Amino acid sequence: MKKIGFLTSGGDCQSLNATMRGVAKTLYQTYPDVEIYGILEGYKGLIYGNYRKMKPSDFSGILTEGGTIIGTSRQPFKKMREPDENGLDKVEAMKSNYKKWGLDCLVILGGNGTHKTANLLSEESLNVVTLPKTIDNDIWGTDITFGFQSAVNIATNAIDCIHTTAASHSRVFIVEVMGHKVGWLTLHAGIAGGADIILLPEIPYDIDSVVAALDKRTKEGKQFSILAVAEGAISKEDAALSKKELKAKRKENPYPSISYQIGKEIEERTGQEVRITVPGHMQRGGEPCPYDRVISSRLGAAAARLIIKEKYGYMVGFKNGEIVPVPLGEVAGKLKMVDPDSSIIKEAKGLGICFGD
């Protein structure tokens, strides 16, 4: 009898349950008596031995349910090799629970940090299959991650709502979109929401360019402007600093986030009134959009097929619309970032969108 452990790790997203359902339903078709262990709260459950045995009924009715039915937590990869506060060796503890429970494979759903630990476990000879989860769409080795499209819809909706009020009041509005290191979500929501200025971590901005773009709009008779700003947007000046210098500068920074700093600078430079909206964790909440439900079901089925074939050590990803297994060693430790020279950026610039560069 097969025993499979499911684990969801890192920040959640809308489509985790839909993905687990895809894996489970496909496994139950082939192995009606498969035992699924729901490992609770991500790697924490694997380290401390917390799980619950799942039943087929646990996977019914969850296609449209956001969050994760087995909980999640952030367990930083860089601390995995460090003992916990009681001296417990976390990696050994995970290996030992895996063996104690008699698992044939771990199915791990997560983002970048999660993949580093998944690769570590695979290198430690555990059987691992992973699935690419994140609203950030920044996992290397896959064109798309599940959760991304649902978050794009929410962030776009936030910009859409802002549009009507911005037009009535003749103001500048900033919508801050999630994404500390990468700007996929801001880029897609910004284009979809018709933002005039999009600022991404990958394209450091010059406030002069931002102000020039706003002035141009005013001269053209435009009553309002909307900026889609990634959480991790960074000025050219700050991007030129060393990590240490940047850390020290940020300690002194009085603003709650980059949008507030940009907003203040815009007000001072243009005299226009600025308002800031931060949809925050709403972007990870609610139900998965139909597109995510489809890719989650497909990726889940593909992950189950790998398990059936006993092909371990892979993430299932999308390449040009097809599902491909990608070796974990290739995925771990890399980020898929927005290329400033890519066609999507060129097309957006062609539409007149300013990226502050």
Using CB under 6 A, list all residues that contact ligand F6P. Answer: 11, 111, 134-136, 178-180, 231, 284
Nearer to ligand F6P, 24 or 195 (CB): 195
Q: Rank residues 178 and 348 by Cβ distance to ligand F6P and give the closer one.
A: 178
Which of 45-81 are b and which e, b meaning 16 or more Cβ less than 10 Å from the residue's Cβ?
Answer: bbbbeebeebeeebbeebbebbbbbbbbeebebeebe
Judging by DSSP bridges, how do beta strands 225-230 and 322-327 pair with one another?
unpaired
CA distance 180 to 231: 5
Q: What is the chain's length?
A: 357
Tokens 């018709």 label which residue?
A: 194
Where are any strands of DSSP class E within the chain? 3-8, 35-39, 51-54, 105-110, 128-132, 172-177, 197-199, 225-230, 274-277, 314-319, 322-327
Residue of minimal Cβ distance to ligand F6P:
178
**Least CB distance to ligand F6P at residue 278 (A):** 11
Residue number with CB closer to ligand F6P (9 or 122): 9
In whole angstroms, give the CA distance from residue 232 to residue 335: 14
Q: Which of 12, 58, 89, 136 is catalytic?
A: 136
Assign 3-class secondary structure to 61-126: CCCCCCCCCCCCCCCCHHHCCCCCCCCCCHHHHHHHHHHHCCCCEEEEEECHHHHHHHHHHHHCCC
For the bound state, the minimum distance from the C-beta of residue 204 to ligand F6P, rounded and expressed in Å, comes to 18
On whether the CB atoms of residues 4 and 105 are closer than 8 A, the answer is yes
Output 44 or 305, the one with its CB closest to ligand F6P. 44
Q: How far is the CB of 283 from ligand F6P (least distance, A)?
A: 7
Does the annotation count 136 as an active-site position? yes
Query: Considering beta carbons, is residue 78 or 219 the nearer one to ligand F6P?
Result: 78
One-letter amino acid identity for 43?
Answer: Y
- Closer by beta carbon to ligand F6P, 178 or else 228: 178
CB of 142 to ligand F6P, least distance (A): 15
CA 145 from chain centre, in angstroms, equals 8
Residues labelled catalytic: 136
